[in-house]
C-alpha cells in the first residue's frame, strides 16, 4: 500500500485525484488549513488521515507539524493546492503578491523540505501541479505566473538534487481546467464561464497517476495537458 500526502484535496483536481487513490486502497494524508476543514476531509474520504497547516503562512508549517504525527514513509507528496489573483502589475499590491507566492511557491518548498526524509526512505515521488502559466506569462497574470515559474525552478532544482537519492520529481502543466479556480478566474476576467470548453479534472488526475505509476527505470519529469476541444 502506497502512502500519499495531498494538498488541495477538497476540490478540483486534488479531489478527483484523492478519490482515485482512495479507490486503490492507498494510505492518504490530506493537508487542511484548519481543524474544521480537516474534519470535512475525513468525512468525505473515510480512512484518510489529516494534517493541519496553513499554506498561506508557510513559516508556521514546521511548528504546526511539530505538534502532529507525520508519515514515517511517504511514497508521494502531491502539491495540488493553489491560488490565483489576476491584475495588472500597476494594480497588484504587495499583499496580493505575497499571498500568491506563499501558497503557490514558498509553502510547497517548505512542505517538501519538511517531508523529504520520509520520501527519501522509500525513494518516493514529489509531484507539483504547476500551470500553463508556469511556462508562459500573459497580461494580468504576473503574480500567478511568477509563482508558477518559480515552482518550475523549484522542481527542476529538486530533481537534480535528489536524483542520487532515488527521489523522482514531476511537474504537471495543465491548461485551463474546469474547477472552482477557473470559475474565479473567469469572474476576475469578466468573462462567462463554460465548463465544457476546458479540461476535465479527471483528465489531469489520470496524467498525474501515469507519472506516479511509471516503472522505476523511468522518470516522467514534465507533463503538459492542454484543452482538447
- Written as nine digits, the cell of 42 is 475525513
Q: The pTM is what?
A: 0.94
For residue 5, the tally of other CB atoms under 10 A from its CB is: 25
> What percentage of the chain reaches a pLDDT higher than 70?
93
Least confident of 6-10, 126-130, 189-193: 189-193
Q: Which residues in 153-164 are b (16+ Cβ under 10 Å) and which e?
A: ebbeebbeebee
Q: Parallel, antiparallel, or unpaired for β 27-32 and 76-79?
A: unpaired
Average pLDDT for residues 54-59, to the nearest whole number? 98
Amino acid at each position: 500500500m502506497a502512502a500519499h500526502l495531498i494538498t488541495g484535496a477538497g476540490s478540483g483536481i486534488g479531489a478527483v485525484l484523492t478519490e482515485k487513490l482512495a479507490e486503490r486502497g492507498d494510505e492518504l494524508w490530506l493537508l487542511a488549513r484548519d481543524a474544521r476543514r480537516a474534519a470535512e476531509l475525513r468525512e468525505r474520504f473515510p480512512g484518510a488521515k489529516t494534517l493541519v497547516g496553513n499554506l498561506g503562512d508557510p513559516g508556521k508549517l514546521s511548528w504546526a507539524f511539530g505538534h502532529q504525527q507525520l508519515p514515517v514513509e511517504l511514497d508521494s507528496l502531491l502539491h495540488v493546492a493553489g491560488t490565483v489573483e489576476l491584475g495588472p502589475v500597476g494594480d497588484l499590491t504587495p499583499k496580493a503578491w505575497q499571498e500568491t507566492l506563499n501558497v503557490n511557491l514558498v509553502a510547497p518548498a517548505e512542505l517538501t523540505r519538511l517531508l523529504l526524509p520520509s520520501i527519501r526512505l522509500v525513494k518516493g515521488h514529489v509531484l507539483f501541479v504547476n500551470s500553463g502559466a508556469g511556462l508562459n506569462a500573459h497580461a494580468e497574470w504576473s503574480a500567478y505566473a511568477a509563482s508558477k515559474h518559480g515552482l518550475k525552478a523549484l522542481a527542476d532544482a529538486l530533481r537534480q538534487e535528489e536524483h542520487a537519492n532515488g527521489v523522482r520529481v514531476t511537474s504537471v502543466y495543465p491548461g485551463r481546467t474546469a474547477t472552482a479556480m477557473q470559475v474565479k478566474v473567469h469572474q476576475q476576467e469578466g468573462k462567462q464561464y463554460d465548463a465544457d470548453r476546458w479540461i476535465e479534472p479527471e483528465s489531469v488526475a489520470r496524467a498525474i497517476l501515469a507519472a506516479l505509476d511509471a516503472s522505476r527505470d523511468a522518470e516522467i519529469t514534465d507533463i503538459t495537458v492542454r484543452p482538447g476541444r
